[in-house]
Structures are given as C-alpha cells and as structure tokens.
A = this chain, B = another copy of it.
C-alpha cells in the first residue's frame, strides 16, 4: 500500500488510481461503514481503520461466536491499515485531531451524536481542517422523531417495509437473507463521500454528509409501492417470487430438473421467443398471452405453461437456450456455486487469498470498475493495531518513546 503524503493532487500524479492521495480516517464497524471504506481502499485511497483499544470493532468480537464469523471481517477490511485509539482519553482525542488535520475524509457509523458527545464532532473537526469531509452513517439519520431508534440490518429490514413484501402471500413476513440494508446504506455512504469530494474540487471546502439505512432502501420498494397505489392504499400482499407490483408476467421462479430457474420476460417479442424455445409456437397469437397486460390477467396460466416446460430441462439447458434467444433467465445458484463462479473469477471479481488467520478464502474486489486504472492488489485484512507504528510514527511523526507510552497507558 502506498504511503500517503503531500496533497491529493501531488499523489495522484504518482499513482494511476482514482483516489490516489486521499486519506480516510475510518471508524466504520460491522458492515455499513467498512464496506464504504473498502471501496475507497480499492480505488487507491489510504484507509486508516481506527478501532477501540483491546477487542477492536464489534465484527472482530463476533468472530468468537462461530467458526466462519470472522470471514466477513476479512472480506471487508482488505487493503486497510489498522490502528487503535481510545477516544475516551483526552490524549486519544488530541491524536485524532492530528490525524484529521492530515486527512481528507472521516467516516463513522456510530449512533448519532457519539462523536459530538466525545468532543470530536463535525463542528470541532472542520475547524481543524476545513477541507475535511465528515461522513455519518446511521439507522434513521441525524434528525427526526425516530433518530434514536437503534438499528441493525435486521431491524431496518423490518421498519423499512422490506419484510412486509418478502415471503409467500400466506406466510409470515421474511427478511432478505443477504444483509441488503447494511450494504445498500454502505454504498450510499461511499457515494455521498465521492459527491462531496468532487464538490470540494470545485469549492475547496468539505461537507458533512449523511446516509440513513432506512432512507437508502426506500426507493428499492418502487414496484411494491406501485402495487399499493393500484389498490387505492390497501396493504399490498406478499407476492412470493412474483413481481412486487404483479404487473409483469412471466416473472417467477420455476422448477427445473436439477433445481430452479428464474424467468422474467417483459417484452412481448421476448415472450414469443420463449414460446418458440418451448416448442409452443401454436400459442403465438393466443390472446391470453399476446401482451404483458394479457399475461398479467392470466398469470396462473402463464406460469403453469412455463413450468410445464422448465420441469423437463436442467438449469444449464434452460439458461443456454434462453441466452441464445436473449431472454432474461438465470439459474438459482447456491453459495458454493457462487463463490466458485468461473465468470466472476475470470473477471477478477473474486479471488482466492491465503489469509494469515482464516486460511484460503474467497474475497471480492470492488464492484466499481474504472477502466484504465491500475488495480489495487489485495492485502489481507490487518490484525488489530497492526499499523500503530507506521501511522502514528512514520506518518504522524511521533517518536518510538511516545508511542510506547501511549500504548502503555491504553491510549492507543
């Protein structure tokens, strides 16, 4: 990893990476914050992960509960430098101010006002560095009547309405099995920082930027909200694997010989293509299936027609035929298939890494592909405080004696 020194502009002349020369003070924890700063590291920024003295951030602690529970930490903290810092100690807060004076971005996803109560909130830090971009990730935002609701991925899947639209019509509300709220808000937080970084290039000034988990997932309910309107405000039913607005058909998961496939055909001409590969040219022109509107009105018949065919084929056969006819079809894959996906490995999305703690694991690179930029080679996630000497010594200029004293006193 390159050491960060000088201004962003100078460093960018040296490295062909979008965020070369940008330094990030990273208080991210669990998933939301660390995902945002992982993408910054993968775009070439120098990300300094700051953790509490002792146990480190909660995701390190969670690793004790189950064998694989450390893997997410390894996935999300590649290419970062790790230091410890005790913000409850006055000397710790002074150290933070010295870090901030040299940094471009500070990111945290504590509950609202934690940093302000410690005396190191946005107003204090901007006075030290007017170019600082301060990024706050929270559950419900920095204002509003529910500001103090504590939030995790699961609870915001509940309060946002995602659970109410996930599951079968006659079953209970279900969460999405992936941590979509944490990651959706994490990438929004990254995006907010980038927006402010661009603006700073014009104005010369930093900003406080803010993302709430609840707000970052609301737009993804667009289809479902449409359904609520179509029912004049009645609560929409859960739709299983059907379209959230029940306004597209065929749109479902169908049984294949060796599992399931998902099929979503919007355009009428594509549905005719599907009839052809199903050997049902006889139905081209049938009024029940001629338009999406007609198929929506005959949704049960449309689904039965499609599944009668998919049951006779394997996932691979179905997807190959569909791709030849440019139809949106995919296999339902399990995680072992996904982590070994030849496509993602060939594209460099996923790579096998020999991690010093976890052994041979798959880690992702950034989904943000900037063509022509140099790749940031993966460096395994750091151990707690691994870079105390490099950051506090080499970068901030503290002497070895000072660092030893701060460590002895539990400040770092």
Chain B residues with Cβ below 8 Å from A203 are: 12
A379 interface contact, C-beta 8 A? no
A117 interface contact, C-beta 8 A? no
Chain B residues with Cβ below 8 Å from A190 are: 191
A331 near B159 with CB under 8 A, answer yes
Chain B residues with Cβ below 8 Å from A38 are: 219
CA distance A354 to B62 in the complex (A): 48
A184 interface contact, C-beta 8 A? yes
Q: In residues 35-76 of chain A, which contact B (Cβ within 8 Å)?
A: 35, 38-39, 43, 58, 62, 64-72, 75-76
CB contact under 8 A between A166 and B146, given known A292-B65, A333-B159, A369-B209: no
CA distance A239 to B134 in the complex (A): 37
Residue of B nearest to A165 (CB): B177
CB contact under 8 A between A161 and B368, given known A177-B166, A329-B150: no
Chain B residues with Cβ below 8 Å from A333 are: 158-161, 164
CA distance A254 to B222 in the complex (A): 27
A131 interface contact, C-beta 8 A? no
A332 near B164 with CB under 8 A, answer yes
Which 10 A/B pairs are nearest by Cβ-Cβ distance?
A165-B177, A68-B230, A201-B201, A176-B176, A194-B194, A158-B262, A68-B229, A66-B247, A72-B222, A68-B226
Residue of B nearest to A145 (CB): B343
CB contact under 8 A between A220 and B155, given known A188-B187, A188-B368, A343-B140: no
A116 to chain B, nearest CB (A): 14
CA distance A144 to B243 in the complex (A): 29
A327 to chain B, nearest CB (A): 6
B158 near A261 with CB under 8 A, answer yes
A283 interface contact, C-beta 8 A? no
Residue of B nearest to A189 (CB): B368
Of A306-314, A359-367, A386-394, A402-410, the stretch lying at the interface with chain B is: A359-367
Pick from A68, A76, A192, A212 the residue with the most CB of B within 10 Å.
A68
Which residue of B64, B245, B323 is within 8 Å of A69 (Cβ)?
B245
B233 near A336 with CB under 8 A, answer yes
Residue of B nearest to A122 (CB): B371
Told that A58-B266, A154-B243 touch, could you supply 10 new A-B pairs with CB distance under 8 A?
A68-B225, A68-B231, A155-B263, A159-B333, A165-B177, A175-B253, A176-B176, A210-B371, A215-B344, A221-B335
Of A81-89, A92-100, A345-353, the stretch lying at the interface with chain B is: A345-353
Please, how many residues of chain A have a CB less than 8 angstroms from a CB on the other chain? 167
A151 interface contact, C-beta 8 A? yes
Which residue of B198, B222, B227 is within 8 Å of A194 (Cβ)?
B198
Residue of B nearest to A10 (CB): B202
CA distance A367 to B293 in the complex (A): 33
A338 interface contact, C-beta 8 A? yes
Chain B residues with Cβ below 8 Å from A182 are: 220
B187 near A180 with CB under 8 A, answer no
A179 interface contact, C-beta 8 A? yes
CB contact under 8 A between A173 and B332, given known A192-B368, A218-B344, A225-B362: yes
Residue of B nearest to A268 (CB): B61
CA distance A347 to B142 in the complex (A): 9
A2 interface contact, C-beta 8 A? no
B334 near A235 with CB under 8 A, answer yes
Pick from A66, A245, A293 the residue with the most CB of B within 10 Å.
A66
